Amino acid sequence: MSIAIVTGGASGIGRAVATSLVARGDTVVVADINADGAGKVADRLNTLGRGKAAPAGLDVTDAEAVIGLYKSVAAEHGALDLVFNNAGISIGGAAEELTLDHWNRAIDINLKGVVHGVHAAYPIMLEQGSGHIVNTASLAGLVPMPLGIPYTATKHAVVGLSLGLRAEAAGRGVKVSVVCPSFVDTPLLANVNPDLPQTSLSGDAKGDIQKASPRLYTAEKLARDIVRGVDRNQALIVAPAHGRAAWRGVRLNPSAAVRVAQFAVGRLRAGK
């Protein structure tokens, strides 16, 4: 049985991961800025009759709050085995539409939120000589994804952070993985640029996204991929299969990958 924290656990990928962990018998802290939502998820997970769940309200942009939660979980349970730094925000729009508010929000949540989680979890795991940090990036952290470049930039940064930390941590008993899914059918697709200036992709962008990538993966399938990848200590967990194909394509021919991205932009703009 593992002791785990999942941020962004009230919905989408985080909820699905927490469910998979509890289903196999782990104890999971479901952390989310939506404290009520986290509570409802934890209540439901506690009906599964296997592992246990507890809710926690958490704003990942608050570094001290993240440190406080991670330390309290480790102190209460005597260990912190798994940390899923998963909370994120969806940012979309053409480059000329974006304001610094879009950039700053993406950096604060998608990048600094992961930094805060790593900063809080890594010392605990070093002291106990074990643990696994799992950071959620995106396929957008491996391939050129236009029409949302603040999101793309932060996800590339999370990939680099994770792989660099994995190299440092390998000799000290701590494992690090980074998750890079293609488009997943989660509430983020219906809540692009929340509380931010509007762009052509603000609000519910699911239909627009499906014009460029009609095959949306489910959060439940991705959660199974993530848990399996963590158990295998994979450095990069890329899913589904068409996402892995896209990643291979970028590595083989970066220029062609950019042309494919240009084509997707053209399709999307033509549909407006």
Residue 2, helix vs strand vs coil: coil
Beta strands in 16-76 (DSSP E): 27-32, 52-57
Distances (CA, A) of 187 to 1, 17, 244: 30, 15, 23
DSSP string, 71-123: HHHHHHHS---EEEE-------S-GGG--HHHHHHHIIIIIHHHHHHHHHHHH
**What value, to the nearest 5°, has the Cα angle with vertex 232 and ends 226 and 233?**
85
**What is the rounded distance in angstroms from the CA atom of residue 17 to the CA atom of residue 35?**
17
Closest CA relative to residue 19, chosen from 34, 40, 36: 40
Closest CA relative to residue 121, chosen from 159, 77, 176: 176
CA quadruple 234, 237, 239, 244: dihedral sign: negative
**What is the total residue count of the chain?**
272
Catalytic annotation present for 151: yes
**What is the rounded distance in angstroms from the CA atom of residue 5 to the CA atom of residue 84?**
6
Which residue of the set 70, 122, 151, 217 is catalytic? 151
Residues with catalytic roles: 151
